[in-house]
Structure 1
């Protein structure tokens, strides 16, 4: 007789996501997740074959949520602000997907494409279809860099970080909408 399911994949990914925020990537272990969902670690392997796959599932879940929220954003400023909000709400997950580092499993193309759709749409509106990819990369790289520095305490010179964000978003949008130089 098969053993009954004691937890779901959603519960496992949710527990791993919570652990990621509380303990960092190193704290997301099969044992820690099993303890959170109330099963023994070997039972997790019925749902998730490895820790690597578990981390990948957390990243995929995060990107799916990111895509949904970015799709609802109207215009480049709201899109950038939404990205920043997500970074502040879930800093470890944000860094997992934006700056994963060596050894972190990559997510599938379908997840990257879903998360990029809203950014590409807004970038095309700003810079035209011909320059949409370059504009999307510029906006994403600037925003992700700023947010990562903010999360890691990288703005140690004082001043108003909120004003710096607003200044940067305005300048990036202005630069992307300028007539291309070549």
Structure 2
């Protein structure tokens, strides 16, 4: 008789996501994940080929989280940007992982679709991709700098965020 399954792939990914936030990427080891889900490390390899696959699965799950958050907005560019920023604040290590890894191929498209739609409403269909890249770069850069503590000149970051986002939307709409 085969041994009973002690953990599922979903449990492995969830535990890995938690460990990533708690310990950073260096702490996300196969041994740590195995201990978290209550199996021996060799048993974990029945679910996940290696650490690279584990990181891909965690990045994909993070992308799904972002996609769900974006889908839960009213679809306007400011709402999408705020949802993405919220994800970065709630899950900073997953945010960074999304920028440095390759999730499943459908994940970036799922994240991009609502942004492309919102941007198209502002700029029209001729420059949608360019405008979406511009927006993504600004929002990602702002959040990355926040997470790194790189805004060192003082001032109110919420005011800076609102100012930048307002100007970004106005500039895109004006360029139509």
Q: TM-score range by the shorter chain?
A: over 0.9
Aligned residues: 175
Give the root-mean-square deviation of aligned CA atoms. Answer: 1.0
Give the match for residue 70 of structure 1.
Answer: 70
Deviation at 1:108, TM superposition (A): 2.7
- Structure-2 separation of matches of 1:114 and 1:172: 23
Q: Deviation per CA, 1:4-45: give whole Å up to 9, x if none.
A: 100011110011000110111111000000000000000011
Q: What is the DSSP-based 3-state SS (H/G/I as helix, E as strand, rest coil) of the residue aligned with 1:130? A: coil
Match of 1:23 in 2: 23
Report how far residue 135 of structure 1 moved.
Answer: 1.2
Cα separation, 1, equivalents of 2:57 and 2:168: 32
Query: Which TM-score applies when normalising by structure 1?
Result: 0.93
Question: TM-score normalised to the size of structure 2?
Answer: 0.96
CA distance in 2, matches of 1:109, 1:40: 31
Distance 2:32 2:66 in 1: 25
Question: Which residue of structure 2 aligns with residue 123 of structure 1?
Answer: 119
Aligned to 2:89: 88
Q: Does 1:143 align with 2:139?
A: yes
Moved over 3 A (4+): none
Q: Residue 51 of structure 2 aligns with which residue?
A: 51
Segments of structure 1 that go 5 or more residues without pairing to the other structure are none
1:143-166 alpha-carbon deviations (Å, 9 max, x no partner): 000001001100111100000000
Deviation digits for residues 55-109 of structure 1 (CA, Å, limit 9, x no counterpart): 0000000101111111222211111111111110000001111x21xxx4x1232
Unaligned runs of 5+ in 2: none
Cα distance in 1 for partners of 2:79, 2:58 equals 25
CA distance in structure 1 between the aligned counterparts of 2:139 and 2:48, rounded to whole angstroms: 33
Match in the other structure for 1:11? 11
Tell me, what secondary structure is at the counterpart of 2:47?
A: coil
Deviation (angstroms), 1:177: 1.4
1:170 matched to 2:166? The reply is yes
